[in-house]
Chains A and B, each alone.
Chain A
Amino acid sequence: MSEQQERLNQWKTKTEKTIERFPERKKEFYTSSNIPVDRLYLPDIHEYDVDELGFPGEYPFTRGIQPTMYRARYWTMRQYAGFGSAEETNKRFLYLLEQGQTGLSVAFDLPTQIGYDSDHAMAKGEVGKVGVAIDSLEDMEALLRDIPLDKVSTSMTINAPASVLLAMYIVVAEKQGVPPEKLAGTIQNDILKEYIARGTYIFPPKPSMRLITDIFAYCKDHVPKWNTISISGYHIREAGANAVQELAFTIANGKAYVDAAIGAGLDIDDFAPRLAFFFNAHNQFFEEVAKFRAARRIWAKLMKETYGAKNPKSWQLRFHTQTGGSTLTAQQPDNNIVRVTIQALAAVLGGTQSLHTNSRDEALALPTEESARIALRTQQIIAHESGVADTVDPLGGSYYVEHLTNEMEKEVLRYMAKIDELGGAVSAVEQGYMQREIHHTAYETQKAIEKGEEIIVGMNSFTINNEKQPELLRVDPSLGEKQKARLAELRLRRNSNRASARLEALRKGAQGTDNLMPLIIDCVRDYCTIGEICGVLREEFGEFTGI
C-alpha cells in the first residue's frame, strides 16, 4: 500500500471517530438532482500531494482545519456591531441574536480604543460614533445585559487597551455567575498592525508587547478558551495592501508575537493554540481562496518546523474573515450586496471559522438595521441554500487554485525573508517599511482606477446621474453629553479611596515585571475608568507618537 493510501485510511478512521462525537449536519448529503455529495474529493490517490495538501484537519491543513468542516457546523456568523450608548448596542446585539446570528462582535468608539474617557478633550465629537462608548465596568454591564456569556462567544475589536476590556468582560461574567474558564471569545490585541495600518495605538512597541504577553500568560491559566489575539491582516489590506502583502505582513507580525511570548518565558504549546487570525475577503475570488489556503499551510509549517511546536492545535491557523470595506462604493450602494456575496463566498470556500459580511451602506455611514440584516442574510443564503458547505474544500484540486496557492506561499515567504533581514516585524514597523510598501500599492491602485484601467462598477464606469440618496443611520448627537454626565455620577458614587489604591497598585506593577492582568481586573472591579487605567500606564510607559 502506498504512503498516500495509508494516510488516507488513517484519516478516514480518525474522521469516523470525530463524527461519532460531533455528528455532521445530515446523515447523507445530496445535490438537488440527488447526486450524493462526499465529504472529500481527491484525484487518483497516487497522484495526491499529501505533504503539501494534507487531509482536512491534518498537517499542513491546506484543505481546512477540521476533518468535516461545514458538514458538521457552519462557520460562526459574527456581525461587527456597536454604536452610541451601551444600552443601544445591547439592543442591537439582542436583535442580531434573535435573527440567528451565532456570535457577538463588539465595535468600540475611538476614545475607548485609545484609552480616553468620554469626558477627555481628545474625545470631542467621537463619543459613540464608530462603536459603543465604554468608560467603566458599569457601561460593560449595560452592554452585556441579558446576554448569556456562558453560551455566546464574543469578539472584541480592541487593541491597545485590550487588557482593560477583557478584565471588564471577566468581571461582568463573574457577576452573572459564569466562571472565566467557561468564557469564549476573542480580543483583537494586535498592536503591530495598529502602527502599520489602523492607528489606534497608545504605548510604544516594547511595553505594548509586554501587555500582550501578559494576556497570553494570564489566559493560559485562567481563561483557557479565550483567543488571546487576533492577528489581523484585515486593516493592512484596507490600508491598500494587496493579497500577498496582507498575508506576508500578518504572518510576520504573528511571528513577532510568538517570539515575544517565548522571550517572556512561555512555552510555544502553552499559547500558540489560542492565537487566532483575521483576514480580509476582497474582490478577486480565486486569489482570495488561495490566500486562505496558503495562510494555513505557511503557518503550520512555521509552527511545526521553525518553532518546533508539538501540539497539533499550535499548527492550526484559525481565522475570522470580514468582507472588504474599501471595495464598497458610495455610488449605487445596492451593488455592494453583490460584492459582499462574492467576497463572502471566497471566505467560505477558503475555510473561514467565522465571518462578518459588510452592509451595503458602509461607504456612506454606519449600517442601518435593514442593511445589517441583508448582510447577515447573505451568509445564511450561502450556508443554507447554495450547497457549497456540503463538501470540504470544494476548490481543492482546481489547477488554477492550487497553482495560486503555491504562488501565494512563495511570494509571502519572499516578503517574510525581507522582513527578517530588517530585524523582524517590530523593527520593520519602526523603520516604516510595511507602511511604505502599503502606501505604494494604495497609490498605484488609485491611479489605475482613475485611468480607468481598473473598472469599479457604478463608480468609474456604468454610472448613473441623480442617484436617490438612501436612508442613513445617525448616532444621537447628545450622546457625548449624556455619557459625560453618567461618568461624572459614577465618579461620585464609587468608593474613590479604593479606586485610587487600585490605580497605585497598577502603577507599581507597571514599574516592575509582574503580570498586569490581575491588577487591571482589580481596577475595573472597583470601577476605575478606562481613561484612568490607561492614564497610569501612559505615565509609566510613555506614548507612541507615530513614525
Chain B
Amino acid sequence: MKKKIRVLIAKPGLDGHDRGALVISQALRDYGMEVIYTGLRQTPEQIVASAIQEDVDAIGLSCLSGAHNELFPEIIDLLKARGADDIIVIGGGVIPWEDIPFLESKGIRKIFTPGTPTIETAKFIEKAVYERDGIAGSHGMEPAEKIDHIGIAVSSLEEVLPFYVNTLGLKLEGIEEVSSQKVKVAFLNIGQTRLELLEPMDGESAVAKFIAKRGQGVHHVALGVKEIEKRIEELIEHGVQLINESPVKGAGGANVAFLHPASTHKVLFELCEKPKGDEK
C-alpha cells in the first residue's frame, strides 16, 4: 500500500485571508492526504520548523498580501539550510503572473492561481511526491517517446502514392498487408516518424467504415511506447477505454493497441511498440 502523503498548509506573513488555505486543506484531506494547517501569521522559520517536525512531504503556501516574493524564497532557503529541501513546496493566492517565473526559479515547484480546481493541486502534489520517492504513481502513463506514425485512410494506395512520393518527395519504405486490421499499408518515412497510408482490404475493415462515414483523411496517431502491457494497464487504471485491452500484431511486427476515441476526446490513438532491434 502506498503511504499517506502529508502536507503542511501554511500562511506566511501577516495576511489574514485563509478561505483558500482552509478550502485546499479540506480538499486535500478528502483526496486522502494528511493535512496540517498552521493558522495565520507564521514566520518562515516557524513554517520550516513545523514542516520538519511534522515530517511532511509537501508544503502549500498561501499568500494574498503581495509579500510572496520576499517570503516564499526565504522558506526555500531555510529548508535547504536545514537539509530538508526534499520537501516539495507549492504556492497559491493572489500572485501576479509576472512573479511566477521568479518564484519557480527560486525553487517553488508550482504556483496555482485563483480558479484552479483543487483536484489539480492534489494531483500535482501526488505526482511530485511519487516521482521524488520513485513510486509509479497513478497519475497517468509514462509519456510516449515519440509519434511513431500518423495513419491516413485512403481509398486506393495506387491513386495517392504518386502525390506522396513524387510531389512531396517522401521515401516509400515498403507496403505490407496487415491481416488483423484488414488493411494494406504503405509506410513513408519522415525523419524520426512516418506516415502510414491505410487502404481497406474489404468492406468489413474498420478503415473501410471510417472512409464510408467520414471520407478519406487522417485516421489515427500512433504513440511510440516501451513496455506496452504496462502502458495499457496504466490507462485502464485511469478509466481510459481501450479497443484492444491486450496488444495485437500490427505492421512491421509491432505490438499495437488502440484507445477508444470516446475516452480520448475523439482522437483515435494507437500505442505502438516496435520489436527490439527495429528502433531507428
- Indicate if A326 sits at the interface (CB-CB under 8 A): yes
Q: A125-B71, A331-B115, A443-B23 are in contact. Are A199 and B18 (CB under 8 A)?
A: yes
Q: Does B67 lie within 8 Å of A126, measured CB to CB?
A: yes
Q: How far is the CA of A331 from the CA of B13 in the complex (A)?
A: 26
Q: Which of A105-150 contact B (CB under 8 A)?
A: 110-111, 113-114, 116, 121-126, 129-130
Q: How far is the CA of A238 from the CA of B94 in the complex (A)?
A: 14
Contact with A along B111-145 (1 / 0, CB 8 A): 00111011100000000000000000000000000
Q: A181: shortest Cβ distance to chain B, in Å?
A: 34
Roughly how many angstroms separate A171 CA and B4 CA in the complex, as a whole number?
A: 59
Q: How far is the CA of A273 from the CA of B9 in the complex (A)?
A: 43
Q: Look across to chain A and name the residue whose beta carbon is closest to the beta carbon of B97.
A: A469
What sequence of 0s and 1s flags, for each residue 100-118 of chain B, a beta carbon within 8 Å of any chain A beta carbon? 0000000000000111011
Q: Select one of A199, A238, A364 contacting B96, CB under 8 A.
A: A364
Task: Tell me whether A188 is interfacial, beta carbon within 8 Å.
Answer: no
Chain B neighbourhood of A456, CB < 8 A? 115
What is the chain B residue whose CB lies nearest that of A131? B65
Contact call B69/A125, Cβ cutoff below 8 A? yes
Nearest to A124 among chain B residues (CB) is: B70
- A450 CB within 8 Å of chain B: yes
**Does A363 have its Cβ within 8 Å of any Cβ on chain B?**
yes
Give the residue name and chain of the B residue nearest to A127 (CB). B67
Tell me, yes or no, whether A222 is within 8 Å of chain B by CB.
no
Q: In the assembled complex, which residues on chain B have CB atoms less than 8 Å from the CB atom of A121?
A: 43
Which of chain A's residues has its CB closest to B22's CB? A439
Interface residues of B in 51-73 (CB under 8 A from A): 65-71
Of B43, B96, B97, the most chain A CB neighbours within 10 A belong to: B96
Contacts of B22 in A (CB 8 A): 439, 442-443
The minimal Cβ–Cβ distance linking A364 to chain B, given in whole angstroms, is: 6
Query: Closest A-chain residue to B16, C-beta based?
Result: A199
**Given known contacts A111-B14, A364-B96, A129 and B67 CB-to-CB distance under 8 angstroms:** yes
Query: Counting chain A CB atoms within 10 Å of each CB, which of B14, B18, B43, B117 scores highest?
Result: B14
Q: Which residues of B contact A443 (CB under 8 A)?
A: 22-23, 26-27
Q: Distance (Å) between the CB of A450 and the closest chain B CB? A: 5
CA distance A116 to B13 in the complex (A): 12
Does A239 sit within 8 A of B, measured CB to CB?
Answer: yes
Interface string of B1-44 (1 = CB under 8 A from A): 00000000000011111110011001100000000000111010
Residue A330, interface by CB 8 Å: yes
Residues of A within 8 A of B158 (CB): none
Q: Is the CB of B27 within 8 A of A446?
A: yes
Are B15 and A199 in touch, CB under 8 angstroms?
A: yes
B94 and A365 within 8 A (CB): yes
Are A546 and B14 CB-contacts (below 8 A) given A443-B23, A446-B27, A450-B117?
no
A459 within 8 A of B: yes
The residue in B15, B67, B113 that gathers the most chain A C-beta atoms within 10 A of its C-beta is B67
Cβ of B69: which chain A residues have Cβ within 8 Å of it? 125, 477
Residues B97 and A126 in contact, CB atoms below 8 Å apart: no
| Set B18, B115, B117: member contacting A329, Cβ < 8 A | B115
Bound together, the chains give a CA A198 to CA B40 distance in angstroms of 10
Count the A residues whose beta carbon is within 8 Å of the partner chain — how many?
Answer: 42
Tell me the complex Cα distance, A275–B23, Å: 33
What residues of B have a CB within 8 angstroms of the CB of A211 in the complex? none
Cβ-defined contact, A125 with B70, below 8 A: yes
Query: How far is A174 from B128 in the complex, measured between Cα atoms in Å?
Result: 60
Residue of A113, A439, A475 ringed by the most chain B CB atoms within 10 A: A439
Q: Which residues of A contact B118 (CB under 8 A)?
A: 446, 450
Known A-B contacts A199-B40, A439-B22, A546-B40; the reply to A110 vs B65 at CB < 8 A is: yes
What's the nearest-Cβ distance from chain A to residue B66, in Å? 4
A200 touches B97 (CB 8 A): no
Residue of A329, A439, A546 touching B114 (CB-CB under 8 A): A329
Interface residue? B98 (CB, 8 A): yes
Whether B17 contacts A199 by the Cβ 8 Å rule is yes
Say whether A97 faces chain B, with CB atoms less than 8 Å apart.
Answer: no
Residues of A within 8 A of B27 (CB): 443, 446
User: Does B98 lie within 8 Å of A110, measured CB to CB?
Assistant: no
Cα–Cα distance between A443 and B19 once the two chains are bound (Å): 9
- Tell me which residues across on chain B come within 8 A of A326, comparing CB atoms: 19
Q: How far is the CB of B186 from chain A (nearest CB, A)?
A: 36
B residues 140-170 near A (Cβ < 8 Å) are none
> Is A122 a contact partner of B14 (Cβ separation < 8 A)?
yes
Let me know if B14 and A194 touch, CB within 8 A: no
Residue from B19, B41, B71 in contact with A238 in the complex, judged by beta carbons closer than 8 Å: B19
Question: Closest CB-CB distance, A480 to chain B, in whole Å?
Answer: 8
Question: Is A67's CB within 8 Å of the partner chain B?
Answer: no
**What are the residues of chain B within 8 A of A130 when measuring CB–CB?**
15, 65-66
A129→B65 contact, CB < 8 A? yes
Interface residues of A in 446-474 (CB under 8 A from B): 446, 450, 456, 459-460, 469, 472, 474
In this complex, the member of A446, A450, A472 whose beta carbon has the largest number of chain B beta carbons within 10 angstroms is: A446
Residue-wise interface mask of A (80-121) relative to B, using a CB-CB cutoff of 8 A (1 in contact, 0 not): 000000000000000000000000000000110110100001
Give the top 5 A-B pairs by smallest Cβ distance, nearest first: A199-B16, A125-B70, A125-B67, A110-B14, A129-B66
Give 27 CB contacts A-B under 8 Å. A110-B14, A110-B65, A111-B14, A113-B14, A114-B14, A114-B41, A122-B41, A124-B13, A124-B67, A125-B70, A126-B13, A126-B15, A126-B66, A126-B67, A129-B65, A194-B16, A240-B23, A364-B97, A365-B94, A439-B26, A442-B23, A443-B22, A443-B27, A446-B23, A450-B118, A475-B66, A546-B39
Known pairs A200-B14, A363-B94, A364-B96. 4 more at Cβ < 8 A?
A: A110-B65, A125-B67, A126-B14, A200-B16
